[in-house]
Amino acid sequence: MSTSQVRIQLSTRSPDIELPEDTGPILVSTELRRYQLSTLVNRLLETEQPVPFEFLINGQFLRTSIDEFLTANGISAETTLNVEYVRALVPPSHVASFEHDDWVSSIDLLSSTSAAGKWAGKNFAGAGNERLVSASYDGLLRLWNQSKEVLATSGDGGHSGPVKSVKFLDHSRLVSSSVDRSVRIWNYNDSEITPKVELLGHTASVDRLAVHTPSQRILTASQDHTVGIFSSDIKSNPSAPAHLLPNPSNKRRKTSVTVPQRGALSLLAGHTAPVSDVTFKPDDATVAYSTSWDHTLKTWDLATHSCVDTRATSHPLVSVAALPQLNLVAAGTTARHISLIDPRASATSIVAMTLRGHNNAVVSLAPSPDNGYVFASGGHDGSVRVWDVRNAKAGNGGIAEGGMTGESIFVLERDGQGEKKPVGGEGIKVFGVQWDEAWGIVSCGEDKKVQVNQPR
């Protein structure tokens, strides 16, 4: 491109870093790159300490010089470019590791900004009372504070096999699921975790949970190919099916604590392989999404207990997270990538974007608590990656147009893995990841640790 200068109009959506209203278009060299534009904006803002910025042009991050971007996207330098600047995502620092006796399969977080903390309302005590619950292959649940102290551990009346998933229901209740095919609701405080009820319905391992306490609904994803619906109000669940009740002669099941047993409200059939994950639609708890090894994402109407849409993909899907601001659902695959799927019936293409970077299956997804474009993923390659869907690597147009690919903003490796690169994608497997304003990005895995990374 022969033009050596271009006129840009800078803007942002963050009021605290807005330029003065009278800042008009600025003539800059087309050779400028991101870091040079960041220096320019800091100078215009008169910041005391430099703030790292990213720049968006037509919804895409600037990753080259302006000249190369204009050429690649067929944009004329004769017009004024609207350039949006946003704070760059900076990798959070590793601040703590919570040691366990066995693999850690799942974690959940309680704070004033987490879903469970908000559901608890005034019952949540606030700052200083943030809690983390972990589920382990040793069959136990553990409650932690931010000082790495174990406050309580589940005991008698618990699961008889590895625990695969755990969630806070509110400030005093937990729910967990296990390889032992059961779902359990617990009462907890800072000194004990006690079983309240055993929920039976599945005939195989229950690998994932989703909860929505306001509607008293618990969703389960099981290897028996079904999505289960249970109520967090114990009495609302029917009697447990007789054929699923444990054999009294099973010595492994005998404990000093006896808990009531109830059944499922419904088991949603439709998948033809194990259901890998399930989640509520964030803005409508009567709708849920499930992923499966049968390559499909299904949309469920929970009011009628029916499947209303099926999206078939090319690979087994093993994790799911809804991105409501974008009307997309993120699904992690065994093929090492993340597919952004449009679940709407009007969608012209199934996969709107493909995110690549993991070297093994992507088994956990966690949306950012404050940015609808951003989420984290955990994989069996031993890494947690953070993505911004506006970080388009190739292709033209917006994310609504199929065929676009993206790359991660940064990568968090497991503490202790060091610089040793996994062979064939087999790193220290990450099994779960969560993201919360108070806790930061928290992950767990087969290194028997919960790893906490917090913003610098």
pLDDT of residue 417: 64
398: confidence class by pLDDT, cuts 50, 70, 90: very low
Domains and CATH numbers, the chain: 5-87 (3.10.20.90), 92-455 (2.130.10.10)
Q: Are strands 193-199 and 261-262 parallel, antiparallel or unpaired?
A: parallel
pLDDT of residue 156: 82
Is 0.85 surpassed by the pTM of this model? yes
Of the candidates 93, 84, 57, the residue with the CA atom closest to the CA atom of residue 73: 57
Q: Which spans in 205-294 are helix H?
A: none
Percent of the chain with pLDDT over 70: 92
pLDDT of residue 246: 77
| 35 three-state secondary structure | helix
Residue 377 CB contacts under 8 Å (≥ 6 apart), including other chains = 319, 330, 332, 338, 355, 358, 362, 364, 365, 366, 384, 385, 386, 387, 433
Token digits of residue 86: 């946003």
3: confidence class by pLDDT, cuts 50, 70, 90: low
- CA 204 to chain centroid, in Å, comes to 24
- CA 218 to chain centroid, in Å, comes to 18
Question: How far apart are alpha carbons 407 and 61 in whole angstroms?
Answer: 11
